[in-house]
Amino acid sequence: MKVEALENLKMIKESARDFAEAHIRPHVMEWDESQHFPMDLFHKMGKHGFLGVIVPVKYGGVGLGYQEYITVIEEIGKVCGSIGLSVAAHNSLCTNHILMFGKEEQKQKYLPKLASGQWIGAWGLTEPNTGSDAGRMRCVAEKDGDYYVLNGAKNFITHGKSGHVAVVIARTGELLDSHGMTAFVVERGTPGFSGGKKENKLGMRASETAEMIFDNCRLHKSQILGEVGDGFIQSLKILDGGRISIAALSVAIAKGAYEAAVQYSQERQQFGKPISKFQAICFKLADMATKIEAAELLTRKAGFLKDKGETSTTISAMAKLYASEISCQVANEAVQVYGGYGYTKDFPVEKYYRDAKLCTIGEGTSEIQKVVISRQLLKK
Ligand SMILES: Cc1cc2nc3c(=O)[nH]c(=O)nc-3n(C[C@H](O)[C@H](O)[C@H](O)COP(=O)(O)OP(=O)(O)OC[C@H]3O[C@@H](n4cnc5c(N)ncnc54)[C@H](O)[C@@H]3O)c2cc1C
């Protein structure tokens, strides 16, 4: 890595860490308990550049790459997984979809607002009956002159209620035709578009997850991202990048849990000595540290390939699969190191344990990552 790139990385790491300590850490449990999505915090994060890390400077972003983006997600996610998840969904799903596939006017209109945190973005692919099997979606956009009339619902959408703008993928062609889906950019306040049920979740509780409902919502053809029929293929490309951010988030949660466990194991005394002196405990720490190191290397490699512009489908899926699975294992062991105290809300590890699980589900489950990886391997 060049000296300038290393300096950028160091600067953004310190800036994200300081921000998370000052503005997120003091509120983590309060937001978690009340399921409060802190919109004001997002406006503040925008001012620090965390919501436009990969957006070019000419559109109001910071103009950096995936290495820096991974670093931001790691520093924020280490303090609060929910905020890390929302930053990831905003940056690599909604914003990146407009950046990668939007027309110049669309980029000029939306990217500065999204990169500055003035607006928060959502991205809707999942529907109540079609999650892993997204190609079978039922949300339909029917052509009517220069307009498309959108009907249906998207669920489990990060910022589905509060997002100011959403990228929505809907059917414009035949069922099961991978070229039968189109991506639209839809602003909140458009007649026929509303937020529905907000989910009450196990973890990631400060990240809003809600339904988006479309009832005869008329969208002008200028709201299409890219070409008619390209929406599904675009989504797969967006998920290649998005999965790197979920891998980074998984590493972040694992690091948070591990660091807490290391500290506690040196403070907690049983049988006249710190519990870290018991081999059963320090071997757990050794396993946790090794898994985190491996997951981070895989995640960084995926980011490196993405920055080089190489296809990263397999490595992104591998990073997401491995990092999310070890994140759950590490958080589980952290609770074990804390014993009974780990099971209470007075200590941070129960939250890491709850938050980590989402990483094996969002942006494609672990099983789907194996489908993606094995398909790529067998194609060769
Ligand atoms: C907190 C949260 C935030 C989210 N944010 C967004 C968002 O912003 N935008 C968005 O579009 N979506 C979002 N999602 C949706 C998420 O991507 C889906 O939940 C996920 O893709 C799984 O879909 P599903 O829940 O319908 O599960 P299903 O697809 O019903 O899967 C159920 C089980 O069956 C398994 N399974 C399914 N198909 C196969 C197969 N072919 N082979 C083997 N096993 C299989 C799955 O792995 C899983 O274990 C979010 C979800 C959550 C919980």
On whether both 300 and 203 belong to a single domain, the answer is no
C-alpha distances in Å from residue 294, one per residue of 81, 261, 272, 326: 20, 19, 34, 10
On whether both 102 and 127 belong to a single domain, the answer is no
Q: Is the CB of 157 under 6 A from ligand 1?
A: yes
Domain that holds residue 204: 122-229
The residue whose CA is least distant from atom 16 of ligand 1 is 362
On whether both 95 and 128 belong to a single domain, the answer is no
Task: Write the DSSP assignment of 248-314 as a string of letters.
Answer: HHHHHHHHHHHHHHHHHHHH-EETTEEGGGSHHHHHHHHHHHHHHHHHHHHHHHHHHHHHTT---HH
Expressed in angstroms and rounded, the spacing between residue 229 Cα and the centre of ligand 1 is: 23
Structural domain ending residue among the three candidates 184, 211, 229: 229
The residue whose CA is least distant from atom 7 of ligand 1 is 157
Any idea what DSSP says for residue 48?
T
| pLDDT (tens digit per residue) in 84-127 | 999 999 999 999 999 999 999 999 999 999 999 999 999 999 99
Q: Are 372 and 132 in contact (CB under 8 A)?
A: no
CATH number at residue 221: 2.40.110.10
On whether both 86 and 73 belong to a single domain, the answer is yes
Q: Is the CB of 125 under 6 A from ligand 1?
A: yes
Q: Are 318 and 360 in contact (CB under 8 A)?
A: no
- Please tell me the predicted confidence (pLDDT) of residue 7: 85
Written as tens digits, the pLDDT of the chain (380 aa) is: 677 777 889 999 999 999 999 999 999 999 999 999 999 999 999 999 999 999 999 999 999 999 999 999 999 999 999 999 999 999 999 999 999 999 999 999 999 999 999 999 999 999 999 999 999 999 999 999 999 999 999 999 999 999 999 999 999 999 989 999 999 999 999 999 999 999 999 999 999 999 999 999 999 999 999 999 999 999 999 999 999 999 999 999 999 999 999 999 999 999 999 999 999 999 999 999 999 999 999 999 999 999 999 988 999 999 999 999 999 999 999 999 999 999 999 999 999 999 999 999 999 999 999 999 999 999 86
Task: Write the DSSP assignment of 50-65 as a string of letters.
Answer: TTSTTS-GGGTS----
Expressed in angstroms and rounded, the spacing between residue 362 Cα and the centre of ligand 1 is: 6
CATH number at residue 375: 1.20.140.10
On whether both 218 and 275 belong to a single domain, the answer is no
Structural domain ending residue among the three candidates 104, 120, 136: 120
**Total of domains in the chain:** 3
Q: Is the CB of 135 under 6 A from ligand 1?
A: no
Q: Is the CB of 204 under 6 A from ligand 1?
A: yes
On whether both 222 and 238 belong to a single domain, the answer is no
Expressed in angstroms and rounded, the spacing between residue 379 Cα and the centre of ligand 1 is: 24
Nearest-atom index, ligand 1, CA of 126: 11
On whether both 131 and 75 belong to a single domain, the answer is no
CATH number at residue 90: 1.10.540.10
- Please tell me the predicted confidence (pLDDT) of residue 5: 75
- Please tell me the predicted confidence (pLDDT) of residue 380: 64
Expressed in angstroms and rounded, the spacing between residue 132 Cα and the centre of ligand 1 is: 5
- Please tell me the predicted confidence (pLDDT) of residue 3: 75
Structural domain ending residue among the three candidates 175, 203, 229: 229
On whether both 18 and 113 belong to a single domain, the answer is yes
On whether both 249 and 310 belong to a single domain, the answer is yes
3-class DSSP assignment, residue 12: helix
On whether both 240 and 375 belong to a single domain, the answer is yes
Q: Is the CB of 89 under 6 A from ligand 1?
A: yes
Q: Is the CB of 368 under 6 A from ligand 1?
A: yes
On whether both 128 and 242 belong to a single domain, the answer is no
Using alpha carbons only, give the angle 81, 45, 295 rounded to the nearest 5 degrees.
35
- Please tell me the predicted confidence (pLDDT) of residue 1: 65
On whether both 246 and 365 belong to a single domain, the answer is yes
